[in-house]
Amino acid sequence: MFGYMGKILRVNLTEHRITEERLEENIARAFLGGRGLGAKILFDELAPGIDPLSPENKLVVAAGVVTGIPFAGNCRYVITGKSPLTNIWGETNASGFFGPELRFAGFDAIVFEGKAEKPVYLWVHNGEAQLRDASHLWGKVTGETEELIKRELQDDRIRIASIGPGGENLVRYACVLSDFHHANGRTGMGAVMGAKNLKAIAVRGTLKIPLADRDRIAELCKQASKEVWEGAYKDLLHKYGSDGDLDDLHATGRLPTKNFQKCTFEQYENITGETMAETILVRRDPCFACPIACNQVVAAQEPYVVDPAYGGPEYESAAALGSTCMNGDLVAVAKANELCNKYSLDTISTGVTIAFAMECYEKGLLTKADTDGIELTWGNHQAIIQLVEKIAKREGIGDLLAEGVKRAAEKIGRGAEAFAIHIKGQEVPMHEPRGKKGVGLAYATSNRGACHLQAEHDDFFEDPSWLFPEIGLDKTIDRLDMGRDKARMVKILGDFKALYDSLSVCMYASWPEGGVRVQTIKDIVAAATGWDVTLAELMTVGERAFNLCRAFNVREGISRKDDVLPARLMEPLPEGLYQGQAIPKEQFEQMLDYYYEFRGWDKETGIPTEEKLEELGLGYVTAKLKTSRQSK
């Protein structure tokens, strides 16, 4: 088979046993890799109802079919498993260099199962793999872990994905870090590694990806390199990173502020990408084969020492650790971001959880007696820094906040649930759905709980030049529209993003945010594999992955009742350009009806119909869902 290394590594941590499995061509073509491949393995192999932090959970680390082929945006890889934050489908992808190196080391994916008796790390090198003792690494932060492993294996070019104390201490939103600052951020996959006593995965290789038509790939990579320069956001991303968007979001009143109580932030100018570039930026780093170089690297001495090795905040981190907590101190934002990267904490969940605690403090539900004496007032950046430390170490109030807002609110009680801004247990990211209503529907129906990456945002599709009739995006729709066409758009974009996460490509390099055309990516898949793939086939792969993840969740008890937004995000916006804009329940439910109709899901239950699953080649899933429901 071309386009793939053709091998999956299976690592049984309990038995300290490593085996190789062939990646079958029919599975590769149906799922491509990344999210899709993870969904196939986990749906088939995990029993419903298991504890995500138990040895029964599995973790799939998977690259995609284009990962490592040298064109911009091809570097991503995806970690999937059952999430300890949401108890449903967990998934998180990252860029950098780890994904390509995994393939050059000889494998398309690694499946971890069981639990090691003592801390270990996996070393994969040119088709060989071994588990090594990591007792001496336990307790170390991510950067130190990487340095020690490189020294031990005597190779600086090794790429390492690891966890810090946040993952070891089973913070439910612990992430996985590679190269100090590329985060597989969301859904707590770092905690799953911690629960398995898996400290790190180290990969290094010089193997070549077998390509069906190497000359054609060379041509297409050149073409993609030209296209990436035509991306509308290339300059913005290079100069300011994704934080270049923060001022636009403030200007339009869509910047989550004060735990989503506000949507503009008086001190916004302090934390924009532009201010970062003018003050603490030291350089911009690229990912594998990408000329954009959007990773903003920062350093500071006062009021906090910020280590540039850990990168710098992108938009989500700047808003979560900044405006959401009313923190207008850029160096404090950068410090909190650095600590999250060191300790392996998701910056979005960390920021939103701290904002939740601040609101509880403001409303008297938490007092100094609960906070270990910390004044948890809005904007108190010393308190934010202290809380990040405490959460990672589960010290004092950090132990409560390490559970995420949903569980913390349930423990605090007395109405704290109203301030817990989450969907399906995952903290809401930094996009205000009342000012782009499609994002609201995507949030509510995302398979991994609140997620801003499940559908490209509404703004694009007001503009005819961004339409893409070949995949069904054939009419412009206003950002505030909540009708049938919007529901259809969100469905199509959901499949599309599932495709991107299966391929696995970067949204900043590829259409619509990046310049690389979808047609070019399709041609690269065809030239790499030798398959006569069409755009329609690729979109079906996305839809298949989306539905399989939904089926995974249905088996865990998810249904229409869970496809909701937090009450606060449905109320009228209090200020800004879209003041008064709300997501009324009745209209939301109507939009959800339309969405289910386009998805081919039962309107009452939100469960994929037998016909839809059959159409996607997932007929066997229906039987598994039925068995699961009967056993409940």
Partner 1 sequence: MKLTVGFYCGLARRLSKETEAEVEVREGATLRDVCAALAKKFPAFLGQLIVPGTHDLVEPHFFNVNGSRAANLDVTVQEGDRILLMAITAGG
Cβ distance to partner 1 smaller for residue 475 or 629 = 475
- Residue 147 binds to partner 1 (criterion: CB under 8 A): no
Cβ distance to partner 1 smaller for residue 43 or 443 = 443
- Residue 462 binds to partner 1 (criterion: CB under 8 A): yes
- Residue 296 binds to partner 1 (criterion: CB under 8 A): no
- Residue 410 binds to partner 1 (criterion: CB under 8 A): no
Cβ distance to partner 1 smaller for residue 74 or 242 = 242
- Residue 549 binds to partner 1 (criterion: CB under 8 A): no
Spell out the alpha helix ranges (H) of 46-86: none
Write down the least CB distance from residue 259 to partner 1, Å: 20
Angle at 516 between CA 512 and CA 520, to 5 degrees: 115
Antiparallel, parallel or unpaired: β 17-22 and 7-12:
antiparallel
- The separation between CA 144 and the C-alpha centre of its own chain, rounded to angstroms, equals 24
Binding residue (CB under 8 A) for partner 1 from 218, 251, 418, 567:
251
d(CA 262, CA 268) in angstroms, rounded, equals 12
CA distances from 418 to 86, 141, 567, 588 (A): 18, 34, 7, 19
d(CA 111, CA 192) in angstroms, rounded, equals 13
Binding residue (CB under 8 A) for partner 1 from 91, 501, 513, 562:
513
- Residue 86 binds to partner 1 (criterion: CB under 8 A): no
d(CA 250, CA 242) in angstroms, rounded, equals 14
Write down the least CB distance from residue 311 to partner 1, Å: 16
Write down the least CB distance from residue 508 to partner 1, Å: 7
Q: Which of residues 255-274 bind partner 1 (CB under 8 A)?
A: 272, 274
- Residue 51 binds to partner 1 (criterion: CB under 8 A): no
Cβ distance to partner 1 smaller for residue 258 or 479 = 479
Write down the least CB distance from residue 481 to partner 1, Å: 11
d(CA 98, CA 146) in angstroms, rounded, equals 12
Record the tokens describing residue 248, joined without a space.
């636009």
CA distances from 288 to 76, 293, 294, 401, 522 (A): 9, 10, 12, 35, 20
- Residue 227 binds to partner 1 (criterion: CB under 8 A): no
- Residue 182 binds to partner 1 (criterion: CB under 8 A): no
- Residue 242 binds to partner 1 (criterion: CB under 8 A): yes
Write down the least CB distance from residue 588 to partner 1, Å: 20
Q: Which of residues 442-461 bind partner 1 (CB under 8 A)?
A: 452-453, 456-457, 459-460
Cβ distance to partner 1 smaller for residue 423 or 453 = 453
Residue with tokens 């909701």: 564
Binding residue (CB under 8 A) for partner 1 from 431, 448, 486, 612:
431
- Residue 305 binds to partner 1 (criterion: CB under 8 A): no
Cβ distance to partner 1 smaller for residue 167 or 576 = 576
- Residue 91 binds to partner 1 (criterion: CB under 8 A): no
- Residue 468 binds to partner 1 (criterion: CB under 8 A): no
Cβ distance to partner 1 smaller for residue 233 or 595 = 233
Write down the least CB distance from residue 249 to partner 1, Å: 6
Antiparallel, parallel or unpaired: β 89-94 and 198-204:
unpaired
d(CA 335, CA 350) in angstroms, rounded, equals 13
d(CA 428, CA 93) in angstroms, rounded, equals 17
d(CA 112, CA 129) in angstroms, rounded, equals 13
Query: Which contiguous run of DSSP H or E holds residue 472?
Result: none
Cβ distance to partner 1 smaller for residue 316 or 523 = 316
Of 27, 34, 42, 28, residue with least CA distance to 549: 42
- Residue 249 binds to partner 1 (criterion: CB under 8 A): yes
Instruction: Write the DSSP string, 148-194.
Output: HHHHHHT-TT-EEEE--HHHHTT-TTB-EEETTTEEE-STTHHHHHH
- Residue 463 binds to partner 1 (criterion: CB under 8 A): yes
CA distances from 215 to 135, 165, 289 (A): 47, 46, 18
- Window contacting partner 1 (CB under 8 A); options: 176-184, 211-219, 241-249, 541-549: 241-249
CA distances from 624 to 142, 189, 543 (A): 39, 25, 19
Binding residue (CB under 8 A) for partner 1 from 248, 372, 575, 593:
248
Bridge partners (DSSP) listed for residue 113: 12, 58
Interacting residues of 373 by C-beta distance below 8 A, sequence separation 6+: none
- Residue 595 binds to partner 1 (criterion: CB under 8 A): no
- Residue 246 binds to partner 1 (criterion: CB under 8 A): yes
Backbone dihedral angles phi then psi of residue 60, each to the nearest 5 degrees: -110, 125
Spell out the alpha helix ranges (H) of 270-327: 273-279, 315-321
- Window contacting partner 1 (CB under 8 A); options: 171-179, 239-247, 416-424, 603-611: 239-247
Interacting residues of 154 by C-beta distance below 8 A, sequence separation 6+: none
Q: Cβ distance 178 to 160 under 8 Å?
A: yes
- Residue 511 binds to partner 1 (criterion: CB under 8 A): no
- Residue 577 binds to partner 1 (criterion: CB under 8 A): yes
Record the tokens describing residue 215, joined without a space.
């000359």
Write down the least CB distance from residue 432 to partner 1, Å: 10
- Residue 292 binds to partner 1 (criterion: CB under 8 A): no
Binding residue (CB under 8 A) for partner 1 from 113, 146, 227, 245:
245
Write down the least CB distance from residue 83 to partner 1, Å: 20
- Residue 439 binds to partner 1 (criterion: CB under 8 A): yes
Write down the least CB distance from residue 429 to partner 1, Å: 9
Angle separating helix axes 535-555 and 484-503, nearest 10 degrees: 100
**Site of interaction with partner 1 (CB under 8 A):** 232-233, 242, 245-252, 254, 272, 274, 314-316, 431, 439, 452-453, 456-457, 459-460, 462-464, 466, 476, 478, 507-508, 513, 577
